[in-house]
């Protein structure tokens, strides 16, 4: 049974890693808790349901279209709402509340279109997973773990080494100074929204093809991602890895030894403990900020 | 300001014309509070089809001069909040009876039904606590307690004595689990584990791992149809093979769509429905000619409920008090067998056992 628990932990941790990365990319540059990301995750999953199950698209066409549409949705929200609010100097609380409102609209839209019940995209024959040291893991789950790790490393490399990634880091450090140095804040912000939303969309698809979809799935996933970002420390990749593992271990052990109904509760207990005793997370580092 | 005034006038005129079109003068109005949209819409559709067929048959039979029945539908969306709003709108229209389903809706509307003396006729919800809600809340479908007792007896008769329960953490789930566990233990069975899950969960692997470790002969699963399907799918994926047993809510198209072969062999209780009785055959024939599909149990229970109400009407009962008294003092033989309240607000009808076999729901031979 231990091997099955380990398998369950790895599956959950890899997913949290991807979600936390998607959330932290947006938070990194926009500097507020963008709850709309939860709606983007759900929409990506439902887009896949629409294209794959209802319309009958090919698998890869479904994946690409769903990710592009969901990522575009993130960008559209930024252009229509956040851009305007930032123009009128709205603070992060106003942006947060707006994002919460947009998320509720998204969730209701999904409920109205597809209903509230759980749905499954994977229509193939249900098979016993592949055995690894006594634990069982399906091929979809193996793909999900690999995809999450590859995208996590890829996006980290992009932010650390690419020209756009460096601009994102510069804006995160000091937006005004970056502007003086000629960095186009708006386009970099749009880029971070696109990448963050696309990563969230991939996470949504991975869950959709592995377990199933519900209109609230995005919110539950994003909350786990936010907890990981806070306990891992903002801006630290190792912190995110440690946070994902800690959360996945805690949740799976509590589900195994107590009840699955405590899974969300334990996430918040960990969050509160970190906020009290280690508010900067595992990494313990503040983001570098260069002042003029 | 002028524009606002015009909008208000237009709104008032449109509301008035809507109200006039809604109410046919002289018709007997009855309410139907069903999930017409949302996750339970499929069950709402079954119910609506059953109700419409019964009403149509009555309206056709009375001729042009008789008082027709008009059904006013409200959408409960299968949740308590919308259910109560819908019920309040129906009581405002002074309907004597409201046909409904889904436990959260029945439970939330019960106090209002008793207060307004409106009969809340439940033909779909199986929460065992519904029977204690009050004199105006009547059910012509067996509750989950009866099914749980029957399943416990069945398992013991098959020498399955080490069982786990896995239920959804709702009123229905918890109450059904309690009855099952009590009955099963009383009959000499052993409950290895009692697990619950929240509504809307997607990942059940941790709990399934725990259940697998306890190595039960069977797992009694009480959940919504979507959740049940995901549980069976994930159980197969982690190579957890056991005898899954469940109750009536298990039967739904999602089980076959989502769980597929993982659901094969699952045995569940179901309100007894004898399709070979003449009443049931006539109903099935009429139903098929109208909707081009075979009737589900919920279409049948609602059809029976409305037909029983029509019998009460024909006997000269118009007020909700008189109709309720008629229900309590008369028997009704319908599509789903004998409805005999006998002074109670709930029925005790036979239960049948069904099995998922080769991608379809079948009657379990010998039960």
Query: pLDDT by residue (tens digit) across B121-173?
Result: 999 998 888 998 999 999 999 988 899 999 999 999 999 999 999 999 888 89
Would you place residue B18 in the very low, low, confident or very high pLDDT band (cuts 50, 70, 90)?
very low
Handedness of CA A183, A184, A189, A192 (dihedral sign): negative
Contact A268, A227 (CB under 8 A): yes
Percentage of chain A lying above the pLDDT 70 cut: 96
pLDDT at A292: 46
Helix (H/G/I), strand (E/B), else coil: B210: helix
Number of helices and strands in chain A (H, E): 12, 2
pLDDT at B67: 87
Give me the mean pLDDT over the B266-284 stretch. Answer: 87
Q: Which CATH architecture has domain B2-141+276-349?
A: 3-Layer(aba) Sandwich (3.40)
| Upper half-sphere CA count for residue B341 (Cβ side, 13 Å) | 23
Q: Is the pLDDT of residue B8 over 60?
A: no
Give the list of residues 6+ apart from residue A127 with CB closer than 8 angstroms, or none.
A138, B236, B237
CATH superfamily of B145-272+352-363: Response regulator (3.40.50.2300)
Q: What is the mean pLDDT of residues A156-177?
A: 86
Residue A123 pLDDT grade (very low, low, confident, very high; cuts 50, 70, 90) = low
Per-residue pLDDT, averaged over A58-87, amounts to 91
Tokens 């024909």 -> residue: B314
Q: Which residue of A has its CA nearest to B359?
A: A125
Assign A285 a pLDDT band (cuts: 50, 70, 90).
low
> Hey, are the CB atoms on A117 and B224 less than 8 Å from each other?
yes
Q: Is B226 close to A126, i.e. CB distance below 8 A?
A: no
**Cβ contact A256–B209 (<8 Å):** yes
Residue among B38, B212, B261 whose CB faces A115 most closely: B38
pLDDT score of A283: 65
Beta-carbon separation of B207 and A118 below 8 A: no
pLDDT at A289 over 60: no
The yes-or-no verdict on residue A80 having pLDDT over 50 is yes
Q: Provide CB contacts within 8 A for A118, sequence distance 6+.
A: A212, A213, A214, B200, B202, B226, B227, B229, B230, B254, B258
> What average pLDDT does this structure show over A43-58?
92
Report the mean per-residue pLDDT for chain A.
88
C-alpha distances out from residue A199 to A71, A127, A129, B189, Å: 8, 28, 26, 50
Q: Answer yes or no: same fold for B2-141+276-349 and B145-272+352-363.
A: yes
Residue B350 reports pLDDT greater than 60:
yes
Residue B236's pLDDT is: 93
CA distances from A159 to A25, A31, A184, B192 (A): 9, 16, 16, 51
Q: Report the interhelical angle of B171-186 vs B103-116 (nearest 10°).
A: 100
Which of the two residues, A2 and A282, has the higher pLDDT score? A2
Q: Which token pair is B132?
A: 């204690």
- Between CA B143 and CA B140 the distance in angstroms is 9
Question: For residue B9, is pLDDT > 80?
Answer: no
Say what the pLDDT of residue B202 is: 85
Per-residue pLDDT tens digits for A220-279: 899 999 999 988 887 788 989 999 999 999 999 998 888 888 888 898 899 898 888 887
When pLDDT is cut at 50, 70 and 90, the band that residue B5 belongs to is low
B206 touches chain A (CB under 8 A): yes
B229 to chain A: which residues are within 8 Å by CB?
Answer: 118, 120
Q: Nearest C-alpha of chain A: how many angstroms from B212?
A: 9
Query: Residue A117, Cβ neighbours under 10 Å: how many?
Result: 24
Query: What is the Cβ-side half-sphere exposure of residue A197, based on CA atoms within 13 angstroms?
Result: 29
Q: Which of A172-181, A253-262, B97-106 has the lowest mean pLDDT?
A: A172-181
CB-nearest to A256 from B37, B210, B229 is: B210
Q: Does A158 touch chain B (CB under 8 A)?
A: no
Nearest to B202 among A125, A207, A259 (CB): A207
What residues contact B310, with CB distance under 8 A and at least 6 apart? B54, B58, B69
Q: CA of A115: which chain B residue's CA is closest?
A: B38
Kindly list the distances between the CA atom of residue B329 and the CA atoms of A265, B32, B106, B143, in Å, as whole numbers in the listed order: 51, 24, 23, 21
B254 near A CB under 8 A:
yes
The percentage of chain B sitting over the pLDDT mark of 70, rounded to a whole number, equals 93
* Rounded mean pLDDT, B290-319: 92
B130: left (phi over 0), alpha (psi -120 to 50) or beta: alpha
Nearest-CB residue to B237 (from A5, A136, A212): A136
Decide: helix, strand or coil at residue B344.
Answer: coil
Torsions phi, psi of B139, nearest 5? -125, 130
CATH code linked to domain A2-277: 1.10.3470.10
State the nearest Cα–Cα gap between B209 and chain A, in angstroms: 7
Question: B227 CB near a chain A CB, below 8 Å?
Answer: yes
Nearest-by-CA chain B residue for A220: B201
B65 vs chain A: nearest CA distance in angstroms? Answer: 42
- What are the backbone angles phi and psi of residue A133, rounded to the nearest 5°? 50, 40
Predicted confidence (pLDDT) at residue B14 exceeds the cutoff of 70: no
B186-242 pLDDT, tens per residue?
Answer: 999 999 999 999 877 888 999 999 999 999 999 999 998 888 999 999 999 999 999
Residues in a beta bridge with B69: B28
- The larger pLDDT score, comparing residue A191 to residue A287, is at A191
The secondary element (H helix, E strand) that includes residue A116 is none
């Amino acid at each position: 049974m231990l091997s099955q628990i380990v398998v369950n932990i790895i599956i959950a941790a890899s997913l949290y890693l991807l979600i936390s990365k998607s959330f932290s990319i947006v938070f990194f540059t926009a500097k507020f808790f963008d709850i709309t990301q939860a709606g983007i995750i759900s929409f990506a999953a439902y887009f896949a349901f629409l294209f794959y199950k209802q319309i009958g698209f090919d698998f890869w066409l479904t994946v690409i279209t769903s990710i592009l549409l969901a990522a575009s949705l993130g960008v559209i929200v930024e252009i229509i709402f956040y851009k305007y609010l930032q123009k009128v100097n709205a603070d992060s609380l106003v942006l947060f509340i707006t994002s919460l409102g947009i998320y509720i609209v998204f969730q209701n839209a999904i409920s109205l279109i597809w209903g509230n019940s759980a749905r499954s995209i994977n229509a193939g024959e249900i098979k016993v997973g592949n055995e690894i040291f006594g634990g069982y893991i399906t091929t979809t789950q193996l793909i999900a773990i690999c995809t999450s790790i590859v995208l996590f490393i890829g996006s980290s490399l992009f932010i650390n080494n690419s020209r756009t990634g460096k601009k994102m880091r510069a804006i995160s450090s000091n937006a005004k100074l970056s502007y003086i140095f000629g960095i186009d804040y708006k386009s970099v912000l749009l880029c971070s929204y696109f990448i963050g939303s696309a990563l969230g969309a991939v996470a949504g698809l991975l869950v959709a093809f592995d377990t199933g979809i519900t209109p609230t799935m995005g919110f539950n996933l994003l909350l786990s991602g936010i907890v990981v970002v806070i306990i891992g420390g903002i801006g630290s990749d190792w912190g995110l890895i440690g946070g994902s593992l800690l959360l996945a271990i805690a949740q799976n052990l509590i589900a195994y030894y107590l009840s699955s109904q405590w899974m969300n509760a334990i996430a918040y207990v960990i969050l509160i403990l970190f906020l009290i005793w280690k508010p900067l997370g595992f990494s313990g580092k503040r983001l570098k900020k260069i002042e003029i | 300001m002028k524009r606002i005034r015009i909008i208000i006038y237009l709104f008032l005129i449109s509301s008035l014309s809507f109200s006039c079109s809604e109410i046919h003068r002289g018709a007997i109005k009855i309410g139907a509070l069903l999930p017409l949209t949302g996750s339970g819409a499929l069950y709402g559709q079954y119910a609506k089809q059953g109700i419409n067929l019964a009403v149509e048959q009555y309206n056709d039979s009375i001729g042009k001069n008789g008082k027709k029945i008009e059904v006013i539908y409200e959408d409960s969306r299968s949740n308590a909040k919308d259910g109560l709003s819908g019920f309040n709108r129906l009581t405002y229209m002074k309907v004597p009876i409201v046909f409904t389903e889904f436990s959260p809706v029945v439970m939330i509307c019960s106090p209002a039904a008793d207060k307004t003396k409106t009969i809340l006729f439940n033909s779909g919800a199986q929460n065992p606590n519904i029977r204690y809600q009050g004199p105006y809340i009547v059910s012509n479908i067996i509750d989950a307690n009866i099914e749980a007792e029957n399943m416990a007896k069945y398992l013991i008769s098959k020498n399955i004595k080490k069982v786990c329960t896995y239920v959804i953490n709702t009123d229905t789930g918890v109450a059904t689990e309690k009855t099952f566990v009590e009955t099963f233990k009383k009959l000499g069975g052993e409950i290895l584990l009692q697990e619950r899950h929240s509504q809307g969960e997607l990942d059940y692997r941790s709990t399934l791992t725990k259940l697998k470790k306890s190595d039960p002969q069977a797992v009694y699963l009480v959940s919504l149809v979507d959740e049940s399907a995901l549980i069976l799918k994930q159980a197969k994926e982690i190579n957890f093979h056991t005898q899954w047993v469940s109750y009536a809510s298990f039967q739904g198209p999602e089980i076959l769509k989502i769980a597929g072969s993982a659901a094969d062999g699952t045995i569940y209780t179901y309100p007894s429905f004898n399709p070979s009785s003449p009443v049931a055959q006539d109903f099935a024939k009429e139903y098929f000619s109208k909707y081009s599909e075979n009737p589900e149990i919920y279409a049948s229970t609602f059809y029976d409920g409305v037909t029983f109400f029509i019998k009460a009407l024909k006997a000269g009962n118009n007020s909700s008090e008189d109709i309720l008294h008629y229900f309590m003092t008369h028997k009704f033989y319908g599509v789903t067998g004998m409805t005999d309240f006998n002074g109670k607000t709930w029925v005790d009808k036979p239960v049948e056992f069904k099995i998922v076999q080769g991608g379809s729901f079948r009657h379990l031979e010998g039960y």
